[in-house]
Amino acid sequence: MQVKKTQPGKDTLLSLYRTMQVIRQCEERLAKSHQLGLVHGACHTYVGEEAIAAGVCAHLRRDDVVFSTHRGHGHALAKGLHPRELIAELYGRETGCSHGRGGSMHLFKPEIGLMGTSGIVGPCILQGCGGGYSFKIKKTDQVAVAFFGDGAVNNGAFHEGLNMAGIWNLPVLFVCENNQFATEVPFQYSSGIPDVGRRAANYGLPGFEVDGNDVTEVHRVAGEAIERARNGGGPTLIECKTYRTRAHAEGMGDFSYRTRHDVDQWKKRCPIVRLGDQLLEKGSASEPELDAVSAEVRELIAESHRVAEASAFPEAQSAMAHVYSESTGHTAGSEPPSGDRETTFVAATHEALAHEMANDPRIFVMGEGIGARGGNFTTTLGLYDKYGADRLCDTPICERGFVGLACGAAMTGTRPVIDFMFIDFINDAFGEMINQIAKMQYMSSGRLKMPLLLRGCIGIGHSAATHHSGSYHSVYTHIPGLRVVMPATPYDAKGLFTRALRCSDPVLFLEHRELMAVKGPVPEEPYEIEFGKASVAREGTDVTIVALSLMRHHAEKAAVQLAAEGVSAEIIDPRTVSPLDTDTILASVRKTGRLLIVDEAFQPCGVGAEIAARVAAEGFDDLDAPIQRLNGAFTPTPYSPTLEKAIVPQVEDIVQAVQQLLEE
Helix (H/G/I), strand (E/B), else coil: 171:
coil
Q: Cβ neighbours of residue 67 under 8 Å, at least 6 residues apart?
A: 115, 116, 117, 118, 123, 124, 125, 127, 128, 131, 144, 145, 146, 147, 408
Residues in a beta bridge with 65: 144
CA separation for the pair 447, 391 (Å, rounded): 25
Beta strand 535-538 with 569-573 is antiparallel
CA of 238: how far to CAs of 24, 56, 174, 208, 224, in Å?
22, 10, 6, 5, 11
Compute the distance between CA of residue 447 and CA of residue 462 in angstroms, rounded to an integer.
Answer: 44
Collapsing DSSP states into helix, strand and coil, what is residue 174?
strand
Write out 208-221 in H/E/C secondary structure. Answer: EEEECCCHHHHHHH
Rg of the chain over Cα atoms, rounded to whole angstroms, equals 28
Q: Which of 468, 473, 553, 554 is catalytic?
A: 468
468 carries an active-site annotation: yes
Q: What is the DSSP letter of 159?
A: H
CB-CB contact of 102 with 108 (8 Å): yes
**CA dist., res. 345 & res. 19, Å (int):** 57
Q: Under a CB-based contact definition with an 8 Å cutoff, are residues 576 and 531 in contact?
A: yes
Q: In this structure, what DSSP letter does residue 436 have?
A: I
Catalytic residue among 27, 399, 432, 511: 399
Q: CA dihedral in degrees (435, 438, 441, 443; nearest 10)?
A: -30
Q: Which residues, in sequence order, are bridge partners of residue 418?
A: 366, 454
3-state secondary structure of 394: strand
CB 549 within 8 A of CB 600: yes
Which H or E element spans position 224? helix 215-230
Name every residue whose Cβ is closer than 8 Å to that of residue 660 and which is 6 or more positions away in sequence.
Answer: 628
Residue 391, classed as helix, strand or coil, is helix
Report the 3 state secondary structure along 589-605: HHHHCCEEEEEEEECCC
399 an active-site residue? yes
**Beta strands of 402-548 (E only): which ranges?**
415-422, 453-458, 483-485, 507-512, 519-521, 535-538, 543-547
| Helical H segments across 46-139, by residue range | 50-57, 73-78, 83-90, 123-138
User: Do residues 163 and 130 make contact, with C-beta atoms less than 8 angstroms apart?
Assistant: no
Cα-Cα end-to-end distance for the chain = 88
Please identify every residue annotated as catalytic: 399, 468
